[in-house]
Structure 1
Amino acid sequence: MSSKTKVLLTGASGYIGGAVLHEILSLGIKDIHVSALVRSATQVKGISTLGVAAIIFRGLDDVDAIKSAAAEHDIVINCASAMDLNACLAILEGLAIRRKATGRDVHLLHTSGTSNYADHPISGTPDLSIKTDESDIYGWEKANADGWILRKVNTTLIDTGLEYGIKTYIFNPPLIYGRSSGPFNQKSLQIPALINVSLASQQAVVLGRGEGIWNVTHIDDVAKMYGIILKNISEHKSSPSGKEGYYFLDAGEATWKEISEQIARTGKKHGHFKSEVVKQVNAEELATYFIKSFPFLNASMVEVIWGSNSRTRGERSRAWGWSPSKSLEAFRASFDDEWE
């Protein structure tokens, strides 16, 4: 059996997954072998040119293939859908098989997000509190699991990981911006989607008064934390996992009003808008714009993703060597590239 640690990445063709893949390869860790689950011949070609072994599967509903692939690896980095509990459990089942067969420690690095900690400031009560990853985030998510599917996925993965003897790490990036260094999708979600809605409306839009506050972090800085944990594992250094294995990644804050105003300014500068006036819309209106691209969204989810408060602080992440390299000013300067 090879002495190399085998790493499996899901979501390598995506925005976060592609950046994480680039980060993994740039670390130059000698004793790891990297594979990626992909769905098409184009993705196989793109991944293979990077020296990564491609494993074909149908998609996240192909749980047998996911389980089988995970059973051949020591570490799985999951950057695919954070909402698909069945696919995530298939990863853990495969890792449990690997642990039993090799006697080695096995690990799941799972991508979630700070929408978990968002409120409903328009339809409900605003929550301006700041959650840190060194507090009892597991306990809070467990108590509030019914309110947001990602919380249920996180806590179920942690509980199942503890049952199977698998070390789990939950990464919670906030609003991510910047061009990904991955081989395929290099575009984020929240801001580009808001730009597209603004184009359809022929002026920048904001949900309500836009008073909600989110943390922002550049995609390269998000990927950096995955590299830190992977390097620690490869060097047999222990990092907090399980109920203590939450990692927040924050690099400043912005309101949704500020974001929409920046869309308005850069949109006018590039000749897309006649004015810098921002139009207020409600959650139902915004949901109708998104329905073709995101058919699972409803007004309540739209309020969380484009209008809520989601304030976090990565104390544990910083204690384990992470710090953002891109400032809040870099975020403000990124809108020209977002338009492009």
Structure 2
Amino acid sequence: MVTKIFLTGATGYIGGEALYSLHQAHPDFEFTLLLRSEEKAKQISGQYPNAKFVYGTLEDSEAIEKAAAAADIVVHTADSSDNLPSARAITKGLSKGHTDEKPGYWIHVCGTGMLQWYDWDNDRYGESPLPAQKYHDIDDIDRILTIPPHAYHRNCDEIVLSANQIGGIKTLIVGPPLIYGPGRGPINQRSIQAYNMAKFTIENGFAPIMTGGGSPEWDNVHIHDLGKFFVLAVDAALDPEKKNNPEIFGPRGYFFLENGAHSWRDLATQIAEEAKKQGYIPEAKTQQGEYKNYGANSKSVAARARKYLGWEPHGRSLKDEVPDIVSSEAKRLGK
């Protein structure tokens, strides 16, 4: 029988890359995509003529529930970190359409923004990371599963994790950090964090740094390496030796992804230097201020994907990508 994938977020950066990578690996799969309108479907159908479409928003629970019930695997990327109605609808649909003997698999995209909780709670903006703020996704799985409920994204994660107790559902949560690089999806191919920093720098003549005495750090991963992960995760759901492994699917199936780290201070400096080099600002200037988007720490170790799925990232580094990030933002600004 043909494997049926229900994917949300095909018009987005992450979802578009997931669709591209999965379709490249498995063009024979049946893909059903949640879209807002027929106009969006027209933009996608040229590249994916065999795709099926479900129309609605993330609040259209009935449509999502029905599509999830009919799918073998749900890949949820559309505002998946924070949208509660869609998470509840997927849970309900998978539980209706599957049994313990033939479960439905749910690949859910979260994000490592939740790891900032300690800095938020203790007003540590602008400070360097503490050793205890690094989370190893195998050795520290119990710490990850007990992150405070008020942490960013945590309320949605709890819906996904609890779905494993209902019956007929097995989940995998993937939490990428800062993502960079050109996506290969049909519509949005641009990421946010580093790109918005470059945009701000070009518009204001300096790169932003959060006020403080330290140097906050995040991890990062190339979008193409995230695409590879989706393929490996879907393949695992179809592999008799992996689909029942509780270290892959279930409450412990919590995967971070990273292939490098950066400090926001260093990234701001690199972007300012590159913007000056390309002629978009008069001097390579950084400036401190209350830029909280770049002020907290998110540190993870992606051991689980490497150990259990054989994931090996190969995308070029964020540092090497900075010239393209600056030039692409300048082009978007009409420079």
What TM-score comes out, normalization by structure 2 length? 0.87
- Quote the Cα distance in structure 1 between the aligned partners of 2:78 and 2:181: 19
- Which of residues 154, 159, 164 is equivalent to 1:156? 159
Q: Secondary structure of the residue that 1:94 maps to in structure 2?
A: helix
**C-alpha distance after superposition, 1:245-267 (max 9, x if no partner):** 01111111110011101110111
Give the drift of 1:68: 1.6
**What displacement does 1:236 show?**
3.0
1:187-238 alpha-carbon deviations (Å, 9 max, x no partner): 0011111222223322211222571111111000011111101112223332
Which of 3, 19, 22 pairs up with 2:20? 22
Q: Which residue of 1 aligns with 2:91?
A: 92
Equivalenced residues, count: 313
Structure 1 residues 46 and 103 mapped into 2: Cα distance closer, same or farther (>3 Å)?
A: farther
The CA deviation at 1:280 is: 0.9
- Stretches of structure 2 lacking an aligned partner (at least 5 in a row): 329-335
1:170 corresponds to which letter in structure 2?
I
Native 8 Å contact 1:206 1:279 kept in 2: yes
Q: Structure 2 residue aligned with 1:8, among 6, 9, 23?
A: 6
SS of structure 2 residue aligned to 1:171 = strand
- Any idea what the Cα deviations from partners look like across 1:69-126, whole Å, max 9, x if unmatched? 11211110001111011211101111111105x9622110000011111242782375
Percent identity, aligned pairs only, is: 29
Find the partner of 1:264 among 264, 272, 296. Answer: 272
Shift of the 52–8 alpha-carbon distance from structure 1 to 2, 3 Å rule, reads farther
Would the aligned equivalents of 1:74 and 1:98 in 2 still touch at CA under 8 Å?
A: no
Q: How far off is 1:166 after superposition?
A: 0.6
Instruction: Measure how far apart 1:131 and its partner are.
Output: 0.8
Residue 44 (structure 1) aligns with? 41
Correspondence for 1:207: 210
CA distance in 2 between partners of 1:336 and 1:40 (Å):
35
1:112 and 2:110 correspond: yes
Q: Aligned AA for 2:200?
A: V
Task: Give SS of 1:326's match.
Answer: coil
Q: CA RMSD in A?
A: 2.1
Pick one of 236, 239, 259 that aligns with 2:240. 236
Contact 2:101 2:168 in 1 (8 A): no
2:83 equivalent to 1:80: no
Tell me the distance in 2 between the aligned counterparts of 1:56 and 1:282: 42
- Matching residue's letter, 1:261: T
One-letter amino acid of the counterpart of residue 221, structure 1: D
Cross-structure match for 2:175: 172
Determine the structure 2 residue equivalent to 1:69. Answer: 67
What TM-score, normalized by structure 1, do the two folds share?
Answer: 0.86
